[in-house]
Amino acid sequence: MLLSLVVPCYNEEQALPLFMEAVAAVRGKIDASLEFCFVDDGSTDGTLALLRELCRKHPEEDIHYVSFSRNFGKEAALYAGLEMAKGDYVVTMDADLQDPPSLLPEMWEILTDGTQAYDCVATRRTDRRSEPPIRSFFARAFYRVINRLSSTEIVDGARDFRMMSRQMVEAVLADREYNRFSKGIFSWVGFHTKWLSYQNVERSAGASKWSFWKLFRYAVQGILAYTTIPLYISSFLGIMLSGISFLALCFIIVRAHLWGDPVAGWPSLVCILTFLGGLILLSLGIIGLYIAKIYLETKKRQIYIVREQQ
């Protein structure tokens, strides 16, 4: 049997050699041949050169790579890697050893123990200790919000470290949307998934590619891709406010008839106007975000562009 390792790499020249070592250390425990599918996501350091060298130096190994024409993001890289993989089982993992290769034998056992009970082994980390507190706070808030709003479950702390059967990989590949959110897609396609937990591991070398804003955009993207409930919320708010202002109007008319209106109430008017204006803009903004997604989706843009491959 063949197990494909799909590894997105963006400026990972320092981490890659460590990754190869760590995999070499566990491969004896996996009863399959390995195929390496690296995706160089437009790295600006020596990652591509390193990948070329890996292929050249180890002709006995089944190593392939594609290199993108620019940085398309991890989601696109994962997609390209899954397309490239030929294995009966495919595992997606980061190059920085934050997805510990030492878990691979256990994942492999679970999937291939002959009972066919699971199609996928997914992993989640159980703590966020090494993270800045503010980042953990927003991460938690994100998972709470999205799971309230969406019927597709997005597991808190889930990593993109998964081993999947060929059948599941085909299902994920069939979903050719441009605005990709893997955590959602993996959950949406279903199949029997076994969850493994592990302690968070520090990055082995190099730096994280995620800034706070990049993560924020990723979170918004996830919510937009997996629920339309924000649209309902803005309509609901609109109806509520119209109702309230209608009642207030009746009240004011009656009061003015009974007692007159001695004070010109412009401050309250301004407050109400700006409040309503804000809400209208918010609702338009939410609608706009969805339209933007529709726009990008209808363009049927390529998910990635390959510059070099082997």
Residues binding ligand UDP (CB under 6 A): 8-10, 12, 41, 71, 73-74, 77, 94-96, 98, 203, 208-210
Q: Near Mg ion by CB under 5 A, which window of 24-32, 97-105, 183-191, 219-227?
A: 97-105
| Range 106-139 burial, b when 16+ CB lie within 10 A, else e | bbbebbbeeeeebbbbbbebeebeeeeeeeeeeb
- Shortest Å distance, C-beta 120 to ligand UDP: 19
Q: Which amino acid is present at 132? A: P
Q: Which CB, 40 or 96, lies closer to Mg ion? A: 96
Residue 198 phi/psi, 5° resolution? -150, 160
Q: Near Mg ion by CB under 5 A, which window of 69-77, 85-93, 200-208, 300-308?
A: 200-208
Q: Which CB, 74 or 183, lies closer to ligand UDP? A: 74
Pairing type for strands 89-92 and 120-125 reads unpaired
According to CB under 5 A, which one of 43, 98, 112, 152 is a site residue for Mg ion?
A: 98
96 is a contact residue toward Mg ion (CB under 5 A):
yes
Helix axes 104-112, 15-26, angle to 10 degrees: 50
Is residue 7 packed enough to be buried (19+ CB in 10 Å), middle (13-18) or exposed (0-12)? buried
Q: Which CB, 34 or 77, lies closer to ligand UDP? A: 77
CA gyration radius for the chain?
A: 25
Q: Which CB, 34 or 95, lies closer to ligand UDP? A: 95
Q: Near Mg ion by CB under 5 A, which window of 133-141, 158-166, 198-206, 241-249?
A: 198-206
Q: Which amino acid is present at 114? A: G
Q: What does the binding site for Mg ion look like in residue numbers (CB under 5 A)?
A: 96, 98, 203
